[in-house]
Structure 1
Amino acid sequence: MIAEKDKVVSITYELHVDDGENGKEFFERVDEAQPYAFLFGAGNILSKMEEAIAGRSVGDTFEVAIDFENGYGDYDESRKMIIPKSAFKENGQKQRHLMKVGNVVSMQDDQGNPLRGEILRIDYRGVLMDFNPPLAGYDLYFSGKIVGIRDADPSELEHGHAHEPGGHVH
């Protein structure tokens, strides 16, 4: 079986990143104990990564370099903004456990689209948050191995993503 549309592909990888100033640095490792599974052809991973895996079989290795423009884009200062502290209330109660520097918080924009932002600072003006993707501005260097390929279940095809073993998790 090969990595192609409508297959669930499981990979292990090591990711190094380069911000253009400090050289390549280790970022993360995904190992065989908990491989990353995705629905091939559903837009669940970066297109350049999918291209590097296409047509390969279990046991095959891959390496791919993805520049920031084809990865998560350039870092955008305008995606840093001050959010009123009142946005961190639920049922009239302040959610102090959320308002900590370094926390990544799920929010919604004016149209209800999901956003995730990191809290950078809290002061009298509000909560300074960064809504850039964590890898914005970085060139990415993946090296990995395909550890599993299977046909997608009908529910995975319907939902457009792989499900964890034993059921549906969102």
Structure 2
Amino acid sequence: MDNKTNKFISVNYQLYTLEADGSKQLVEETKEGNPFQIISGFGMSIDKFEEAIVGLEAGSDFELTLQPADAFGEYEEEGKHKVSRDIFSINGHFDHENIFEGAVITLMDSEGKRFMARVIKVEEDGVTVDTNHPLAGSTLLFKGSVLENREATNEEIQHMINHMSGEGCGCGCDDCDGDCGGHHHHDGDCGHHHHDDGCGCVHCHH
């Protein structure tokens, strides 16, 4: 396939992390009847993942190993930030239901960009969050098969543009309740908190 942009690609896959001892751990897989879908050229997935599948025909199997630099980057200590408890308060009351150690939340920087963060510690003088992607520092192994690879329709392209402009989840999957796999922000200005599920797909966006 010579033209590798605006391709509607649907795949099933299993994603593993490769451990130092040579073992692998399954961290996610597509669900029956709910494949991972992207339109190429929109930056909806990890670059190396898209490069590996965009030229494959329907019915092709693939196996792809990505080092951290080609996936979600190395883990960075500066990705940790301590922010005011006030941004997690509703009507003057701290949101204990959603803000607790280990919770994955949606934040917004000063430019209005949304990104995911994990709550590390909740204290009286602030909340420490980690904006590193949960798979930062991990070597990834994708094993899967291509279900569909064709030219995207104008309607599908417009739908994706609408999503990426903020009118929905731009990750290309139907079940958006994870974190933002393909979009890692280091802005550090965690000035806003959204009390919703966010534009998730930590596990959908590759």
TM-score by length of 2: 0.71
Q: Cα–Cα, structure 1 residues 143 and 164, in superposed 2: closer, same or farther, change >3 Å? A: closer
CA distance in 2, matches of 1:38, 1:117: 24
Q: Secondary structure at the match of 1:69?
A: helix
Between Structure 1 and Structure 2, whose CA radius of gyration is higher? 1
Instruction: Quote the residue 1:152 is aligned against.
Output: 152
CA distance in 2, matches of 1:163, 1:47: 15
CA distance in 1, matches of 2:144, 2:63: 6
Larger relative contact order (Cα-Cα within 8 Å, sequence gap ≥ 6): 1
Distance apart, 1:22 and its partner CA:
6.9
Distance apart, 1:148 and its partner CA:
1.9
Distance apart, 1:71 and its partner CA:
0.7
Paired residue type of 1:126: G
Q: Secondary structure at the match of 1:52?
A: helix
Distance apart, 1:156 and its partner CA:
3.2
CA distance in 1, matches of 2:48, 2:148: 20
Distance apart, 1:115 and its partner CA:
1.8
Instruction: Quote the residue 2:143 is aligned against.
Output: 143
Instruction: Quote the residue 1:60 is aligned against.
Output: 60
Higher deviation after alignment, 84-93 or 127-136: 84-93
CA distance in 1, matches of 2:3, 2:30: 19
Higher deviation after alignment, 4-13 or 19-28: 19-28
CA distance in 2, matches of 1:15, 1:118: 21
Structural mapping, 1:98-137, within 5 Å: 98-137=98-137
Instruction: Quote the residue 2:71 is aligned against.
Output: 71
Instruction: Quote the residue 1:8 is aligned against.
Output: 8
TM-score by length of 1: 0.84
Structure 2's unaligned 5+ residue stretches are 165-169, 175-198, 200-206
Instruction: Quote the residue 1:24 is aligned against.
Output: 24
Q: CA RMSD in A?
A: 2.6
Q: Hey, which of these two has a bigger chunk of strand by percent?
A: 1
CA distance in 2, matches of 1:136, 1:94: 29
Q: Percent identity?
A: 27
